């Protein structure tokens, strides 16, 4: 029995009916589970079954399409992700629209790190649950990025889709973002959508920061997850998906982000045959990234695939001699 609550999530693509029945995509086959109070069971890439409860999901906006899942993560899962990240945090970067490289910017002042895909059972379970909720294949997602915001740190309003072609080589545009809150924030740190349709109608009191009054805002609550789409139903970019993270005023903010693309982002890559002089690093950070295992964690960016050069081929030692 198909549940009508899922219709908003399926309508991101005009061809959603065909997507549901393409078995190679390994999307969840949904059935109603009478023993879990209406929870839905989805088969996953890892062969397990994931239960999630659609009654916890609220539609926040249709322009942009945004949904909030209460208690998506347990306290234990939130704490586990923070523990994995704490001693590996580095200054957060942004994608440069001209070069496609990751660069430092005052626009984004948090610190963060990428987890390895399916690096342990808890991370795998979270990735499975995201795929089951969004109806988007696991292989279309980037690795989860854990972020830490201290007092005054923020991320100015920006888009998750790309303005350049270089960043679209791997998986195309980012179609959706799942933002998971790993901690409460005493004040500030709200996720804000300056162009959202509900900006003027959302009631706010003194518990909201000044920044949060400049758009539709979502308060960080430990365990909650925010899903929003960066593309319209016809796959064009949605200017109303502009979003940012307000400065933290009191306390600290921990979050985890999963970016999901329109196409496969994780095909296995073997050694590449390239012409002399083409096996190079195109980013000054390549050697450092290779040392911390990014060649294995993020192979499409670092190494590339057939017909597409990676950004750090030299440091990853993948070129045939």
Tens-digit pLDDT profile for residues 269-319: 344 455 556 788 888 889 988 888 888 778 778 887 656 678 888 888 877
pLDDT recorded at residue 260:
94
Please state the three-class secondary structure of the chain as a single string.
CCCHHHHHHHCCCCCHHHHHCCHHHCCCCCEECHHHCCCEEEECCCCCEEEECHHHEEEEEECCEEEEECCCCCHHHHHHHHHHHHHHCEECCEECCCCCCEECCCCECCEEEECCCCCCHHHHHHHHHHHHHHCCCHHHECCCEEEEECECCCEEEECCCCCCCHHHCCCCCEEEEEEEECCCCCEECCEEECCCCCCCCCCCCCCCCCHHHHCEEECCCCCCEEEEECECCCCCECHHHCEEECCEEECCEEEEEEEEECCCCCCCCCCECCCCCCCCECCCCHHHHHHCCHHHHCHHHHCEECCEECCEHHHHCCECC
Q: What is the spatial distance between Cα 291 and Cα 293, in angstroms, rounded to a whole number?
A: 6
pLDDT recorded at residue 32:
38
Q: What is the spatial distance between Cα 165 and Cα 309, in angstroms, rounded to a whole number?
A: 14
188 to 147, 159, 163, 222: CA distances (angstroms): 15, 21, 29, 14
What backbone torsions phi and psi does residue 194 show, to the nearest 5 degrees? -60, -30
Burial of 307 (0-12, 13-18, 19+ CB in 10 A): exposed
- Please tell me the least confidently modeled range out of 106-110, 163-167, 180-184, 270-274: 270-274
Q: What is the spatial distance between Cα 302 and Cα 286, in angstroms, rounded to a whole number?
A: 8
Q: Using the predicted structure, report yes or no on whether residue 173 has a pLDDT greater than 80.
A: yes
pLDDT recorded at residue 98:
54
pLDDT recorded at residue 125:
96
What would the mean pLDDT of 186-211 be, rounded to a whole number?
A: 95
CA-only gyration radius of the chain, Å: 20
pLDDT recorded at residue 294:
85
How long a stretch of residues is the chain? Answer: 321
What would the mean pLDDT of 86-98 be, rounded to a whole number?
A: 71
Residue ranges of domains in the chain: 53-261, 268-321
Q: What is the spatial distance between Cα 194 and Cα 192, in angstroms, rounded to a whole number?
A: 6
Q: What is the spatial distance between Cα 202 and Cα 11, in angstroms, rounded to a whole number?
A: 25
- Please tell me the least confidently modeled range out of 133-137, 162-166, 188-192, 243-247: 162-166
Share of the chain above pLDDT 90, in %: 50
Q: What is the spatial distance between Cα 63 and Cα 195, in angstroms, rounded to a whole number?
A: 8
Contact by Cβ (8 Å): 28, 38: no
- Of 34-38, 93-97, 160-164, 305-309, the range with the highest mean pLDDT is 160-164
Question: Taken in order 173, 176, 182, 188, is the CA torsion positive or negative?
Answer: positive
Tens-digit pLDDT profile for residues 211-248: 999 999 999 999 999 999 999 988 899 999 999 999 99
Q: Which fold has domain 53-261?
A: Jelly Rolls (2.60.120)
């Amino acid at each position: 029995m198909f549940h009508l609550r899922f219709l908003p999530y399926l309508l991101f693509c005009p061809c959603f009916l065909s997507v549901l029945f393409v078995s190679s995509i390994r999307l969840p086959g949904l059935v109603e589970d009478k023993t879990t109070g209406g929870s839905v069971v989805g088969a996953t890439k890892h062969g397990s079954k994931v239960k999630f409860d659609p009654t916890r999901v609220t539609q926040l906006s249709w322009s942009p399409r945004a949904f909030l899942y209460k208690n998506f993560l347990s306290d234990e899962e939130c704490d586990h992700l923070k523990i994995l990240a704490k001693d590996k945090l580095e200054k957060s970067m942004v994608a440069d629209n001209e070069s496609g490289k990751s660069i430092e910017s005052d626009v984004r002042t948090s610190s963060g790190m990428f987890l390895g895909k399916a690096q342990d059972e808890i991370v795998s379970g979270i990735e499975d649950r995201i795929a089951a909720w969004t109806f988007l294949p696991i292989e279309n997602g980037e690795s989860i990025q854990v972020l830490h915001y201290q007092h005054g740190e923020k991320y100015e309003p920006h888009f998750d889709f790309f303005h350049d072609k270089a960043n679209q080589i791997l998986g195309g545009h980012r179609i959706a973002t799942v933002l998971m809150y790993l901690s409460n924030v005493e004040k500030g740190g709200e996720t804000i959508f300056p162009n959202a349709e509900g900006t003027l109608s959302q009631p706010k009191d003194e518990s909201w920061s000044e920044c949060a009054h400049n758009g539709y805002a979502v308060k960080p609550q430990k365990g909650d997850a925010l899903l929003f789409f960066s593309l319209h139903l016809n796959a064009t970019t949605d200017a109303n998906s502009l979003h940012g993270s307000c400065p933290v005023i009191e306390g600290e903010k921990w979050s985890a982000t999963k970016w999901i693309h329109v196409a496969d982002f994780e095909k296995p890559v073997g050694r590449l045959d390239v012409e002399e002089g083409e096996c190079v690093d195109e980013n000054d950070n390549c050697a450092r990234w290779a040392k911390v295992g990014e060649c294995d964690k993020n192979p499409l960016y670092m190494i590339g695939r057939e017909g597409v050069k990676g950004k750090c081929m030299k440091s990853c030692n993948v070129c045939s001699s």
